[in-house]
Structure 1
């Protein structure tokens, strides 16, 4: 099954005092992959400025821009139309022996190493042991996802963008970012390469054509088990046609939707909205 969806992601900063300049990177453009086709993409900046597009180290499309005139607000609107499909199950799944081969360890070293967001904590030891005890790495992926979903309660606003896997595990609550970070932490501890994926998920299990829904950024995990296997621990379900992929990396820091620096005084107010429409 396939779906065609339009995503409009709007981000606005309002500043108490004019900002004199800023340098920014936006990761808001869905790429074409084996499971989705980006039909149309555009990023609009206000105040207007020139844009530089490239792919980062992890293959995520980036729109870089800077502003050198005083401005009291910054608005970034990313619009995309994407045709998505069901992710096929990983074929030719590797054994634990194959995953522990030096060539695999070297090739995926960066996705086996802990990061500040995904550092392993002793409190996760029992869960990590259960993941590592599975008969195959593919089984380990499903077990990690299930254990995280069992341990954590999804609660919007319970954590922030700086919350680590260890902090969310201790709090037993979090959002999709935390579910993905903990799942990646458990898999890496067991020796399964895992990458953090950012994107969108249509909130309706059966989206109606033409109806625009209020959405938000979403996160899930892809694990290498001889092939890439995607799993959504927040929902306890496979990644399918309602998911729109935007970026991949080691953790949230690698794929944050918008980041940058600016020169100015006073506070800023952030407003974000995501609208998702199934077109067919």
Structure 2
């Protein structure tokens, strides 16, 4: 178990005044059996009203609007979260026949269907099928993620958050969301339910308690084999106490940290910073 404080700042500077802005922020960590939110708040400048709800996928969403002219917009999300690692696969994980049965298909159709971002080329599906041969679903899931990861180099700037998984596969390069999308598509292709996870990763295991470090927005995935198992394909390991979950969905498009519309100039400068502090 670890106790982590996260401060996520996002700032927009516009070339001329924006007259109105309407936004959704997914920056409050999820509370569940692996993660307890001790405190969380989101502040917006210029000051405005906010409201919160949970979206279809269970992600906390803060909505707000700014209806006065402004040339600068800053959103600061602060939270303190108690996190435990992924428990791994259950001892009684279902076999392939059970995984392909009606109860599972009825319960997780959204996490078995392809989307434009997670659909994988035929050779990836064939690779996943070959890797899974002779293994149970729980063992196959980890092996598939490892095989996909081994075919990609971590190279920032080659793709965007909306790039389809096939782009990263073709180039052999990508970042965390590409590796998550590819692994999700590969898992779904063999019948293992899988979902996208967005959040933060504390980057330094050697950081002292109370030491603030530059954190990272990060993406990983969860697969279902009797229960959800969290795995970070980029770092080739199960999610631990250094992974803070903010949102879950079918793909990145379901969980962007911030999205909205505004009335005003077409260009803006964006600055994003994440700070993380291990408190215990």
Range of TM-score over shorter length: over 0.9
The equivalent residue for 1:268 is 268
CA distance in 2, matches of 1:256, 1:148: 24
Q: CA RMSD in A?
A: 1.2
- TM-score under structure 1 normalisation? 0.96
Number of residue pairs aligned between Structure 1 and Structure 2: 279
Shift of 1:134: 4.6
The equivalent residue for 1:56 is 55
CA distance in 2, matches of 1:99, 1:125: 18
CA distance in 1, matches of 2:60, 2:145: 27
The equivalent residue for 1:233 is 233
Task: Give per-residue Cα distances to partners, 1:26-64, cap 9 Å, x unaligned.
Answer: 000012211111101000001111001010001000000
Task: Give per-residue Cα distances to partners, 1:235-260, cap 9 Å, x unaligned.
Answer: 00111111111110000011110001
Cα distance change on mapping 1:134 and 1:12 into 2, 3 Å: farther
CA distance in 1, matches of 2:73, 2:273: 14
The answer to whether the 8 Å contact 1:131/1:186 transfers is no
The equivalent residue for 1:38 is 37
The equivalent residue for 1:86 is 85
Task: Give per-residue Cα distances to partners, 1:155-198, cap 9 Å, x unaligned.
Answer: 22232112110001111111110110001000011111100001
- TM-score under structure 2 normalisation? 0.96
The equivalent residue for 2:121 is 121
The answer to whether the 8 Å contact 2:125/2:189 transfers is no
CA distance in 1, matches of 2:128, 2:85: 29
Please show how residues 140-219 of structure 1 align to structure 2 within 5 Å: 140-219=140-219
Task: Give per-residue Cα distances to partners, 1:82-111, cap 9 Å, x unaligned.
Answer: 111122122121110001102211211111
The equivalent residue for 2:65 is 66
Shift of 1:131: 4.0
* Structure 1 residue ranges without an equivalent (≥5): none
CA distance in 2, matches of 1:134, 1:208: 44
CA distance in 2, matches of 1:266, 1:138: 48
CA distance in 1, matches of 2:175, 2:214: 17
The equivalent residue for 1:19 is 18
Cα distance change on mapping 1:137 and 1:75 into 2, 3 Å: same
* Structure 2 residue ranges without an equivalent (≥5): none
Cα distance change on mapping 1:249 and 1:24 into 2, 3 Å: same
